[in-house]
Amino acid sequence: MRIESELLKGEKIEKILTPHPLSFMHLQAVWVYILLFGIFLWWTANLSQYSELFNPWISVLSLWWIGLILAGVVISLILIRWRYFFLYLVILSLGTFLAWKYNYLSTGSSLSFFILIYSICISFIIFLGVYIFIKSHRYIVTDYRIIFKGGVLRRRERTLRYDKITDIHGTQGILGQIFDFGTIIPITQSGFGLGSDQAFAGGGIETRAKRFGIFGFAGGAKEVKIPRARSYYELHGVHPYREVKRLLEELVQGHVITPYQKEQVELQREQLELQREMKELLERQKELND
């Protein structure tokens, strides 16, 4: 009902889309890893053949910290976003504080049990957060435009008219191919939907001979423009991918002036000019008669 009130006169909704839950796999991986590592740690400390090694609580705590910190660093390096590292750091610090506060830092077994329960709780909270974030996305495809809506606390909205779209870029990963979802980025003339990948290489050398120093530095950078947008401003992980892409292509094509239509417009313009000239001539004639 609310969406319909936002529509223009005569505007018709073609599709209302939300991202597929698996399209945000990098976010899902954050809680999945915490949960699996918590289970693994509990199993190692209690049921595995190496459980004796984990009798002292410090060995369990060390393994937990190493496992999560390393994962945080790897995820952050791959995604070039350090927020994941800091998130893991906060989770570890809070967990260690709680374990200390409630006296779980006594034996390896009790600490591993605490870590298991804590991991389940934290994973559930992150899962809820991810779920809310995914559900906050809404893409409304109408016959006039695409309305991108989203945001959990801050509402974001953008509308894109089909006549402004120059390219449609689509990507489908392996999971996307299996579950039939994909990301479609409409690129506009203004560059909306374009991002860049940057690479920089540099090197320096310094030599010192007694009091004199020579310093040299050489570097270079490369930038490649690629289709990229925030998940709120692209059709992220939409299902069914092929159907949505075809619909968009048809809608964009429908808003492009064809050569025949162009000819018609030119003809109408000429006719209009002719009528204006005739009108002027008639007015002049009337003046002369008067």
On whether the CB atoms of residues 148 and 233 are closer than 8 A, the answer is yes
Rule CB under 8 A: say whether 55 interacts with other proteins.
Answer: no
User: Degrees (nearest 5) of the Cα angle 123, 125, 131?
Assistant: 100
Tokens 């459980």 belong to residue: 51
Q: Which of 177, 189, 261, 264 binds other proteins (CB under 8 A)?
A: 177
Tell me the window of 43-51, 96-104, 127-135, 208-216 that interacts with other proteins (CB under 8 A). 43-51
Q: How far apart are CA 54 and CA 50, in angstroms?
A: 7
Q: If phi over 0 gives left and psi between -120 and 50 gives alpha, with beta otherwise, what is residue 80?
A: left
Residue 43 interacts with other proteins (CB under 8 A): yes or no: yes
> Contact 44/63 with Cβ under 8 angstroms?
yes
Q: Give 7 or 29: the residue with its C-beta nearer to other proteins.
A: 29
Q: What amino acid occupies position 234? A: E
**Cβ at position 245, least distance to other proteins in Å:** 16
Q: Specify which residues 150 forms β-bridges with.
A: 156
- Select from 40, 65, 82, 192 the one that contacts other proteins (CB under 8 A): 40
User: What span, in angstroms and rounded, lies between the C-alpha atoms of 1 and 216?
Assistant: 66
Residues in contact with other proteins, counted by CB under 8 A, come to a total of 11
Supply the minimum distance, in Å, between the C-beta of residue 47 and other proteins. 6
CB of 183 to other proteins, least distance (A): 16
179 binds other proteins (CB under 8 A): yes
39 binds other proteins (CB under 8 A): yes
CA–CA separation, 199 and 220 (whole Å): 8
Q: Does 168 bind other proteins (CB under 8 A)?
A: no
Check residue 267 for interaction with other proteins (CB under 8 A): no
144: DSSP letter: S
Rounded to a whole number of angstroms, the minimum distance from the CB of residue 10 to other proteins is 38
Rule CB under 8 A: is residue 52 a binding residue for other proteins? no
Contact 112, 46 (CB under 8 A): yes
Q: Which stretch binds other proteins (CB under 8 A): 42-50, 198-206, 212-220, 256-264?
A: 42-50
Q: Which of 6, 245, 14, 20 is nearest to 135 (CA)?
A: 20
Minimum CB distance to other proteins, residue 173 (Å): 10
Q: Torsion-angle region of residue 264: left (phi > 0), alpha (psi -120 to 50) or beta?
A: alpha
With CB under 8 A as the contact rule, the residue among 174, 201, 221, 288 that binds other proteins is 174
Which is nearer to other proteins, 48 or 106 (by Cβ)?
48
Is-contact 192 165, C-beta < 8 A? no
Is position 201 an interface residue for other proteins (rule: CB under 8 A)? no
Q: Which is nearer to other proteins, 20 or 149 (CB)?
A: 20
In terms of DSSP bridges, do strands 156-161 and 138-142 run parallel, antiparallel, or are they unpaired? unpaired
Q: Applying CB under 8 A, which of residues 13, 48, 151, 279 lies at the interface with other proteins? A: 48
Residues at the contact surface with other proteins, assessed by CB under 8 A: 36, 39-40, 43, 47-48, 174, 177-180
